[in-house]
Amino acid sequence: KSYINNTFLKRKDAVPEDGMFFDIEKKVALRTIDRLWMDHIDAMMKLRSQVSLQAYGQKDPLIEYKKEAFQMLEQLVSDIDMNTLQTLMRMEFRVQMPREQIQTKTNEDEIVDIETGSREMLPKPVEVESHAENSAKVGRNDPCPCGSEKKYKKCHGR
């Protein structure tokens, strides 16, 4: 039990912001309670129909219902604690930089000046060595120089 407590405290300390772990823990607990509570309600409905048969065994159905319901409630609380703890122990916490600090990369070579009237993001012509001494520039939609009869962008331009 102390190992679990120590591990839990280490995970709690690994979360960078104060109060953030509490918010995460609260959300996980609420989701767990919601899921298990629905199962508990179904089990209580089944118990109601089963307890009515206890009268045939010379037992008071109300007392049997209360006894079984109390045991089921204790089991529910235990399951909520266990599932919440298991989920929190399995979660991975990652530090994510705010969007302002993320550097964006642009393709400056491919951006064309808007004043010239050209489209933005025009592809650069790709140089492909031919078997001749000089090299030819091949556009994306030109036939591939390899002789496959495909467009360059579908063949060697990938």
DSSP secondary structure, 40-64, as one string: HHHHHHHHHHHHGGGGGGT--HHHH
- Side chain identity at 1, as an amino acid letter? K
Structure token pair of residue 149: 């009869």
| Long-range contacts, 116-121 (Cβ 8 Å, 24+) | none
Provide the CB-side half-sphere exposure for 101 (13 A, CA).
Answer: 4
How long a stretch of residues is the chain? 158
Q: Up-side HSE of residue 65: CA atoms within 13 Å toward CB?
A: 14
* pLDDT digits 0-9 by tens, 75-117: 999 999 999 988 888 887 666 656 665 555 555 555 555 555 5
Kindly report the backbone phi and psi dihedral angles of residue 18, in degrees, each rounded to the nearest multiple of 5, phi listed first. -70, 140
pLDDT tens per residue across all 158 residues of the chain: 677 778 877 877 777 777 788 888 899 999 999 999 999 999 999 998 888 777 676 778 888 889 999 999 999 999 999 999 888 888 876 666 566 655 555 555 555 555 555 544 444 444 444 444 444 577 878 888 887 878 888 887 77
* Local structure of residue 135 (DSSP, 8 states): E
Residue 145 has a CB neighbour count (10 Å cut-off) of 15
The pair of three-digit structure tokens given for residue 64, joined into one six-digit string = 């049997």
Give the residue from 92, 84, 93 showing the smallest Cα distance to 4: 84
Radius of gyration (C-alpha) of the chain in whole angstroms: 34
